[in-house]
Amino acid sequence: MYKKLLATILWAATFTMNAQETVSEHAQASVEKSVFSVQTGLVGVWANNELRLSNQFALRSEIGLELLSFEYAYTDETKYGAAPSVSLEPKWYYNLEKRVRKGKNIHGNSGNAFSVRINYISPNAFLISDIDNYKGVDQINIIPKWSIRRVYGKHFMFEAGFGLGPVIPVGQYSKYADSGDVYVDLHARIGYCF
């Protein structure tokens, strides 16, 4: 009698464990519906939102400050400053399923992504620099890039990425810009997700 009872309990436990594995194998990993965050890096502050387009795709919109380097025409020196930027970035989170299978967190869109960032920078709106009354070239950058994003706990995050893309001068001072400039997007940011 005890052998039959023990066999039945073991069989039921095995059935339950198999059922749980089957459910988790078929769970759909997906980016979140909407994630708002604020971030800071070595230079600058950004606010962004990632809006779900599908299970693996999100559209990131962002406003912030970008670090710029430029040659100052009066002294031929390289100067640095921060200018406002606005960007849109469709992102493909390609490893969400793998992270779920390994039991890793995908909260707040934690994962690796490929994207194309379309960025507009306007030093003419205002420029934080040691130069007074600077008139510069507004620019649009189209940057294919790779990035990682990790959320720790429920709110704290780390994000890093790298990309290269052309600088497209726009606006009234675009005729003074060098053609063929390349924009390097290399960032490491910490932030807070809401």
In a domain, 62, yes or no: yes
- Predicted confidence at residue 55, as pLDDT, reads 95
In a domain, 16, yes or no: no
Query: What is the span of the domain harbouring residue 174?
Result: 31-193
Q: Which residues pair with 2 in a beta bridge?
A: none
Give which of 127, 144, 145 is closest to 135, Cα–Cα: 127
Comparing 80 with 193, the larger pLDDT belongs to 193
In a domain, 102, yes or no: yes
In a domain, 114, yes or no: yes
In a domain, 124, yes or no: yes
In a domain, 148, yes or no: yes
In a domain, 20, yes or no: no
pLDDT bin (cut points 50, 70, 90) of residue 180 is confident
Separation of alpha carbons 174 and 180, rounded Å? 13
The number of folded domains in the chain is 1
State the CATH number of the domain containing residue 138.
Answer: 2.40.160
Segment 139-143 mean pLDDT: 93
Count of residues in the chain? 194
Q: Which residues pair with 90 in a beta bridge?
A: 59
